[in-house]
Structure 1
Amino acid sequence: MPPQQLHLTILTGASRGMGLAMALQLLSPQRHLLCISRHINSELADAAQKLDAPLTQWAQDLADTVGAADRLQSWLNDLKTSEHTSATLINNAGVIPRIGPLDECPPDDLANALRVGLEAPMQLTAAFLRATSAWVNAGWRGPRKVLNISSGLGRHAMAAQAPYCAAKAGMDHFTRCSALDEAEREHGARLVSLAPGVIDTDMQQQLRAGDPAAFPDLERFMELKRQGQLTAPADAAARVLACLDRPDFGKNPVADVRD
């Protein structure tokens, strides 16, 4: 009897917030889920065991961008492609550095925000495309997708968050560029950079805890919370994953779940 074929999904930043919500919703006996985060999540491991869902978790600092990409490519190279019907990478991890003007951001915080928020998605995407392109060259024909979790702040400037806004803007644009590259290739991957809306996560708490003197938009974020306009992580995750499953995924490489 041939082995069961599985969908393969790789997800970064899966230990909390919307990333954890997505991971919990992706768990399935028909899917091998690889989660890459700074910490292993025991709740996720327990849920996978109950569902008999294949789960691999890596404790990996994504600021080590080359190390993370090399690890992913090596792992993908060792997989048996005959056991997988599709391959998807979701770059979800991100970092909000100290809130304030750029010149007040500590250099290490600035570097870390750009490594985790932009360089890591680019390196992981490159590793994913290299490895899965080798699968295609060997005759594998499953769909390949890259979903980059962006933000409206990558498209609309905000004071006091230059590193985060720049990382998300870069994510949008490298997605456009890579989508053009893949469109030129036979059986190329489809890529989308998706803004998920405003979500009630630790990042929102961090923004609401900002110094009013350094963060002119503080009151706007406080008002979003007061008026109940923040989407719950589970609801946001469901909307994002629904976009991933759309038959026209990749038609617009930069998108917003609210469109």
Structure 2
Amino acid sequence: MEVYIVTGASKGIGYELVKQLREKGNKVIGIARTPQVDSKDFVVADLSATEHLEELLSKIIDDHCETATSFTLINNAGMVEPIGLIGAVDADMMRQAVALNLTAPMILSNIFISNLVGFEGQKRIINISSGAGRKEYEGWGSYCATKAGLDHFSRVVALEQASVDYPVDIVSIAPGIIDTGMQETIRSSHEEAFPLLDRFVEYKEKGLLSSAQQTAEKLISFMEKENFRKVGPIADIRHF
């Protein structure tokens, strides 16, 4: 049994990943703050409350270790807020963004690797990154910084896992520009907070956004077809 653990599973890419992976017959555990009424394999949790993550993920792994042939952790949950020029953003929102976008996937990856150190089946971590982690955008200081941190964390893990007996393969992958609630949040911001606002409004008006369904299909195809070690720890779904 292939086991997938997906964070941010109640909407957007996360929701579609859970839905499509289940349709393929996989065991999928979704994690999100908002519950899904149509599934028993769902954990309601605020991932920014990072002190609870060790117990949460350890239980999921323990519950499935005897029957699993592979484990895949997909760190998808994230937030683009706070949007604004540094010097004019809310400090509490910055703390929440760092916790959700960076601290949570780091802790979950640490627990995943530790608890499965002797597991001989396939083990993979997919970190959903962003082009914003690889290029600077005015108004996205927190988002750019946390996604850049996620990329570099993935590089370190890949380097460390190259020399262990039963390695965890890891990729930090940018999914492209997707028509999700995050894009709605971006478009509802103000130009003084996000100088590139008009560009993102234009993406929507010209139909240049990928759907969450299409993006999930591409990510699943990537997971099924690609050798993570050959791809390397940093990738962009548009190249596959």
TM bin, normalised by shorter chain, reads over 0.9
Q: Assess if the C-alpha contact under 8 Å between 1:172 and 1:254 holds in 2.
A: yes
Q: Does 1:64 align with 2:49?
A: yes
Q: Assess if the C-alpha contact under 8 Å between 2:126 and 2:173 holds in 1.
A: yes
Correspondence for 2:189: 210
Aligned residue type for 1:257:
I
C-alpha change, 1:73 and 1:225, in structure 2 (3 Å) is same
User: Over alpha carbons, which structure has the higher Rg?
Assistant: 1
Q: Assess if the C-alpha contact under 8 Å between 1:194 and 1:255 holds in 2.
A: yes
Q: Pick which of 32-41 and 148-157 moved more.
A: 32-41
Aligned residue type for 2:145:
A
Q: Does 1:257 align with 2:219?
A: no
Correspondence for 1:96: 80
Q: CA deviation at 1:66?
A: 2.6
Correspondence for 1:73: 58
Aligned residue type for 2:54:
A
C-alpha distance in 2, partners of 1:60/1:115? 13
Extract unaligned runs of 5+ from structure 2: none
| 2:217 alignment partner, one of 233, 238, 241 | 238
Give SS of 1:75's match.
helix
Correspondence for 2:27: 32
Correspondence for 1:107: 91
**Alignment length (residue pairs):** 238
Q: CA-atom RMSD, angstroms?
A: 1.4
Q: CA deviation at 1:105?
A: 1.4
What do residues 156-208 of structure 1 show as CA deviations (whole Å, max 9, x unaligned)?
10000100111100000000000111111012010000000000000001111
Q: CA deviation at 1:75?
A: 3.3
C-alpha distance in 2, partners of 1:234/1:31? 17
Give SS of 2:60's match.
helix
Correspondence for 2:104: 120
Q: CA deviation at 1:56?
A: 1.4
Q: CA deviation at 1:227?
A: 1.2
Correspondence for 2:15: 20
Q: Assess if the C-alpha contact under 8 Å between 1:15 and 1:40 holds in 2.
A: yes
Aligned residue type for 1:68:
L
Give me the TM-score of the superposition, normalised by structure 2: 0.95
Q: CA deviation at 1:98?
A: 2.7
Q: CA deviation at 1:80?
A: 5.0
Task: Work out the percentage of aligned pairs sharing the same amino acid.
Answer: 35
